[in-house]
Amino acid sequence: MDESTKRLLQRLIRRIPTQMLRTTLDKWGRLTGGQLHSMDFTQSKWALTEKLLAICEENKFAVKHITELEMIYIIDNPNQGMWYAFQLMDPEDDAHSVELTQFKEQFKSHLRELIRHVSVKMKKHTDEAVWIRIAWGDTFSRPNHMKPTYVVHSLQTPYVFVTSLTSKQKPLLSQALVLSTRYQAIKDANLSGRKLTAIRDLLMRQYHQVFPTRYPTPLAENNPAVSNQHIEREQAESAANRLQAACEAFGGGMLPQLQSAVYKLETKFRDHSNKTMTEREEPFRCVVKFASTNLLESLRHCASSGIASTPVTPLLSSIPLKGKNYFVITDNGPGPSSQMRQPQK
């Protein structure tokens, strides 16, 4: 094993928490029973790294084995780093019948055509998603395995999720994806987050949806349990209405964990008490950012507790509706100053 491979392994082991190390090595399956037994998982991480290095030397592992281990770890723990969503546009006629082997071959060959030194590893996960690990090199240097890009794509959906991609690599990846999936273009879906599972669930609506009903059943079970017959809530009905409107806008139950929503405003300044600013012709550019550990949960609570008025404004309800968390808002067009601002993208 050469130096760079050793460094890669050391970095990887440092990254994997000790509790998960054993299960990850089991899944990897490249160590013999005896070797796995000989590893004492109560030792310090440093000692474990040294032991594992020795075992890998013994087995004469190469870079591709280490990257395999890395991929197994990332697939099981996808909720780290920043993930960005992309959407494929304008499918060709045969886009829906692209199947796995064809996609794999096409992707690898297109990417290798575009850039000579690149290392691609593809793996199909149990839930039908294809995971791709790309280590980029250039005309003169070998692929850099320290900064791989991970791409997740479910065939039959137009969505692609990417992490750790530089702006130089983006056009290459886009080209390879578009050609191998038989679509015509790819665009930024304006959705990003730390948890892959969350942004995927949001885009594919895999969380509990609440639909408007004409005759809603009393949401007695959703209200804070009024335990005692001596306690009575006076405004229970309006509270239930607010909760219903909030759940219709954002969803019921557990919501996908988004961390932020950014609104870039390019609207004219409107405040009648401030004439100097209002008279300016150019739009007043400002950026509004909402941040939270679970943004959708916070927004739903704002609506159900009355802090945000119901029906929920389209600016906020667009987040789950359109599956985006980056919006550019421009004025509706010339005309009398109206208070409604439409999200444009």
C-beta of 238 vs 344, nearer to another protein: 238
User: What is the DSSP-derived secondary structure letter of residue 127?
Assistant: T
> Is position 16 an interface residue for another protein (rule: CB under 8 A)?
no
Q: Which residue in the set 40, 232, 271, 279 belongs to the binding site for another protein (CB under 8 A)?
A: 232
C-beta of 60 vs 230, nearer to another protein: 230
Minimum separation from the CB atom of position 232 to another protein (A): 5
Alpha-carbon gap, residue 153 to 182, rounded angstroms: 14
3-class secondary structure, 133:
strand
Minimum separation from the CB atom of position 244 to another protein (A): 16
**How many residues sit in the footprint of another protein (CB under 8 A)?**
15
C-beta of 119 vs 310, nearer to another protein: 310
Minimum separation from the CB atom of position 181 to another protein (A): 50
Binding to another protein by CB under 8 A, coded x per residue (else -) over 21-60, reads: ----------------------------------------
Q: What is the DSSP string of 142-175?
A: ---TTS-EEEEEETTSSEEEEES--TTTHHHHHH
Map the footprint of another protein across residues 306-325, applying CB under 8 A.
Answer: 306-307
| Cis before 256 (ω within 30) | no
Alpha-carbon gap, residue 250 to 252, rounded angstroms: 7
Minimum separation from the CB atom of position 309 to another protein (A): 13
Minimum separation from the CB atom of position 192 to another protein (A): 31
> Is position 220 an interface residue for another protein (rule: CB under 8 A)?
no
The answer to whether the CB of 183 falls within 8 A of the CB of 105 is: no
> Is position 274 an interface residue for another protein (rule: CB under 8 A)?
no
Q: What is the DSSP string of 254-311?
A: S-----EEEEEEEE----TT-HHHHT-SS-EEEEEEEE-SSHHHHHHHHHHTTSS-SS
C-beta of 156 vs 223, nearer to another protein: 223
User: What is the DSSP-derived secondary structure letter of residue 224?
Assistant: P
Alpha-carbon gap, residue 112 to 107, rounded angstroms: 8
Phi, psi of 296 (to 5 degrees): -65, -35
What per-residue string of b and e applies to 42-78 under the rule 16 or more CB within 10 Å gives b?
Answer: eeeeeebbebbbebbeeeebebebbbbbbbbbbbeeb
| First-last CA distance in the chain | 50
Map the footprint of another protein across residues 95-154, applying CB under 8 A.
Answer: none
Segment near another protein (CB under 8 A); pick from 41-49, 259-267, 299-307, 314-322:
299-307
3-class secondary structure, 86:
strand
C-beta of 232 vs 281, nearer to another protein: 232
Minimum separation from the CB atom of position 235 to another protein (A): 5
C-beta of 32 vs 238, nearer to another protein: 238
196 membership: H or E segment, kind and range: helix 196-203
Report the candidate in 280, 283, 281 with the shortest Cα–Cα distance to residue 267: 283
> Is position 227 an interface residue for another protein (rule: CB under 8 A)?
yes
Q: Which residue in the set 239, 258, 295, 308 belongs to the binding site for another protein (CB under 8 A)?
A: 239
> Is position 231 an interface residue for another protein (rule: CB under 8 A)?
yes
Minimum separation from the CB atom of position 222 to another protein (A): 14
Q: Which residue in the set 305, 309, 337, 338 belongs to the binding site for another protein (CB under 8 A)?
A: 305
C-beta of 231 vs 340, nearer to another protein: 231
**Strands 83-91 vs 118-124: parallel, antiparallel or unpaired:** unpaired
**Which residues would be at the binding site for another protein (CB under 8 A)?**
224, 227-228, 230-235, 237-239, 305-307
